[in-house]
Amino acid sequence: MIEKRPFGRTGHDSTVTVFGGAAFMFGATQSQADASLEVLLEYGVNHIDTAPRYGDSELLIGPWMREHRKQFFLATKTSERDYQSARDQIRRSLDRLQVDQVDLLQLHSMAHPDDWDQVFGAQGALEALVEAREEGLTRFIGITGHSWTIAAMHKRSLEQFDFDSVLMPLNFLMYDNERYRKGFDAVIAMCKKKKVAVQTIKSIARGPWGITAKNRNTWYQPLEEQADIDRAIHWVMGRGDVFINTVGDRDLLPMVLDAAGRFEERPDDVAMRELMEARSVTPIFGIAT
């Protein structure tokens, strides 16, 4: 079984691997979704993270909730930036998920300063999330984002509002970049002080698709060999202070969970650099500055 850790100050012990609902973004059927649920149950995964922008993901997860709601910490997001649109989207998500309440509502992909100004301003989306918490539609509020600059944006957000969770990319290649590492570590320090949960994404990213024929339901090219996935997942798990949102490819999902279930120790930098070189790993967000 996969290790569990306190998910920040929520009182919930979540598996280190959080199921990423983006796995249902590209044309999954209900039977395929149900098969993924069986994999989650097999490995004891007890935390699901989805979003309206993940295609029919919420709709496909909804039927599970009738039987398994108590087994999962359930999170979704809103990608809307103004109060009314976010308010409406939150209620649609509850209907699609067939629940009266989610455990965590998150502001989705908050990486651009213009979005930030709108969301945190008067009649911004944050007001809708706070209202949802007051009305019992969610218990906690989080924020997510991608890109090289997201750590700096999260720092700004945490200074503005007392979020319960953040989400940002983490893999060896990104962390090896001095600027990203400093920003990431600064956010980690803030989150530890405030007991804010930190979720990470892109742990098994290999690079952009480029000229390579796309054969996976991921927007980046992933590592595909079990030994490579083991090394990448174990490197992130070895920190001990973050969670891993699982890959968006259903066929790779069991491999990621299998790696997490066998975690014993963190590979060192030498082993990770060997992996980077052997698989020609490159940045998925362009060139860092």
Q: What is the reported pLDDT for 8?
A: 98
* The pLDDT of residue 279 is above 90: yes
- The separation between the first and the last C-alpha atoms of the chain, rounded to the nearest angstrom, is 40
Q: Which domains are present in the chain?
A: 13-278 (3.20.20.100)
Given phi > 0 = left and psi -120 to 50 = alpha, else beta, which region is 90? alpha
pLDDT tier for residue 233 given thresholds of 50, 70 and 90: very high
Q: Which residues contact 138 (CB under 8 A, 6 or more apart)?
A: 90, 101, 102, 103, 104, 105, 129, 132
Amino acid code (one letter) for 169: P
Q: How far is CA 203 from the centre of its chain?
A: 10
Pairwise CA distance, residues 268 & 288, whole Å = 23
Exposure class string for 89-122: b at 16+ Cβ within 10 A, else e: bbeebbebbebebbbbbbbbbbbeeebbebbbee
Averaged over 145-160, what is the pLDDT?
95
Q: Between residues 125 and 27, which one has the greater pLDDT?
A: 125
Q: Which residues contact 66 (CB under 8 A, 6 or more apart)?
A: 98
What six digits make up the tokens of 170? Answer: 């983490």
- CB-CB neighbours of 12 under 10 Å: 19
The secondary structure element, H or E, covering residue 199 is: strand 197-201
* The pLDDT of residue 211 is above 80: no
* The pLDDT of residue 287 is above 70: no
Q: Is 64 helix (H, G, I), strand (E, B) or coil?
A: helix
Please name every residue paired with 205 in a beta bridge, in sequence order, or none if there are none.
Answer: 222
- Kindly report which listed range (134-138, 147-151, 255-259) carries the lowest average pLDDT score: 147-151
* The pLDDT of residue 289 is above 60: no
Q: Which of 172, 146, 201, 178 is nearest to 278 (CA)?
A: 172
Q: What is the reported pLDDT for 267?
A: 98
| Cα–Cα distances in angstroms (integers) from residue 216 to residues 20, 28, 33, 202, in the given order | 15, 13, 16, 14
What six digits make up the tokens of 26? Answer: 């590209």
* The pLDDT of residue 213 is above 90: no
Exposure class string for 52-80: b at 16+ Cβ within 10 A, else e: bbbbbbbbbbbebbeebeebbbbbbbbbb
